[in-house]
Amino acid sequence: MDKLWKAWEREVAGWVGSRRNPLSGSNNVSDSGEGRLGDIIHPSAVIECKLRKSVSVISMMREEYRKAKKEGKAFIGVVREKGKKDLICLVLPYEEAKKVLREIGGIPSKKNHEPQPLEQSLKLTLKHSKEE
């Protein structure tokens, strides 16, 4: 039986139509011996998966998510560190995150039957959120 974190990586890999990168923490090489980053094998994105008992960013956003859900509105939490603009953290509901990753992977959704390039994925996801 898989460890929970491996099952999580496999689930996320399925969202982008791929597979997990075995031994990604220590091996990080493709079948041909070239370097390969991330927990998920993907041609145009590095996808890193973490599974923790508690994640402070998610815990911090959970009440706001519940309020948005109660109001029937989409929720996107945006967090960054003070003085640093190199990375931000987007907190999305589970199903919305799956939509984003499906589009990054080029997997058609029910509403969008054609795979989309990586740069279109967030635009389409925000559009889907408004329609629902």
Range 66-70 average pLDDT: 97
Per residue in 100-114, pLDDT tens? Answer: 999 888 776 555 544
Say if 19 falls within a structural domain.
yes
Number of domains in the chain: 1
Domain coverage including residue 29? 1-51
Assign residue 116 a region: left if phi > 0, alpha if psi is -120 to 50, beta otherwise?
A: beta
Long-range contacts from 59-66, C-beta under 8 angstroms, 24+ separation: 61/91, 65/91, 65/93
Say if 16 falls within a structural domain.
yes
Say if 2 falls within a structural domain.
yes
Predicted confidence at residue 95, as pLDDT, reads 93
Residue type, 16: V
Per residue in 39-54, pLDDT tens? Answer: 998 888 889 999 999 9
Per residue in 1-25, pLDDT tens? Answer: 779 999 999 999 999 999 998 876 6
Give the bridge partners for 40, in sequence order: 20, 47
Range 118-129 average pLDDT: 49
Say if 108 falls within a structural domain.
no
Say if 32 falls within a structural domain.
yes
Say if 123 falls within a structural domain.
no
